[in-house]
Amino acid sequence: MIPHTRPSEMLTRDAVHELVDRVVAAAGRHDVEAVVSCLTSRGLVLSLPGRVLRGPREVGDWYRGLTRRHSLRCRLVSPPEVRLTSPLHAECRADVALSSHRRGRAGATDSAPRPRTLRLFLSTVLQQGGARIRTCAMEPLPGSVAASGTAP
């Protein structure tokens, strides 16, 4: 334990697993505020193929726009792999199945689902008593449809 760090102020594997579960569930519900609540308030970087977003506001604006254009479904493929790197930090890898439909007029979907599996690489930090995502990079797994920063 590092000096001045009590056990209650330490990041745990369970806390990171719960964080990943929360953010994937919130993304599947299109709950922008719940997604943003899983992100760190400082130093946030989301690296998408072809695009980098910085800060919770930019990520929230991007996700809000994305969910206006696409109906998304996502779920974890398997439990996340977590490596604690310090009492306050952890790295995580998680595979997420994602499918999307492009929305037509009046919110109806007008295309066949586009399924893909993305691998998320997360850097997490203990902030305000809970685990938060500091960085997230994602890449499509081999055999999956290529992802982009503008559409799922």
C-alpha span between 138 and 131 (Å, rounded): 19
**Cβ 80 vs Cβ 94: under 8 Å:** yes
Whether 149 is in a domain gets the answer no
Domain count, the chain: 1
Cα dihedral 137→138→142→147 (10° resolution): -140
pLDDT in tens, 43-86: 999 998 889 999 999 999 999 998 888 888 899 998 999 999 99
pLDDT in tens, 74-106: 999 989 999 999 999 999 999 999 887 776 655
Instruction: Check whether 8 has a pLDDT greater than 70.
Output: no
Domain at 42, CATH number? 3.10.450.50
Which region holds residue 43: left if phi is over 0, alpha if psi is between -120 and 50, else beta? left
Query: By residue range, what is the domain housing residue 86?
Result: 13-97+115-140
Whether 78 is in a domain gets the answer yes
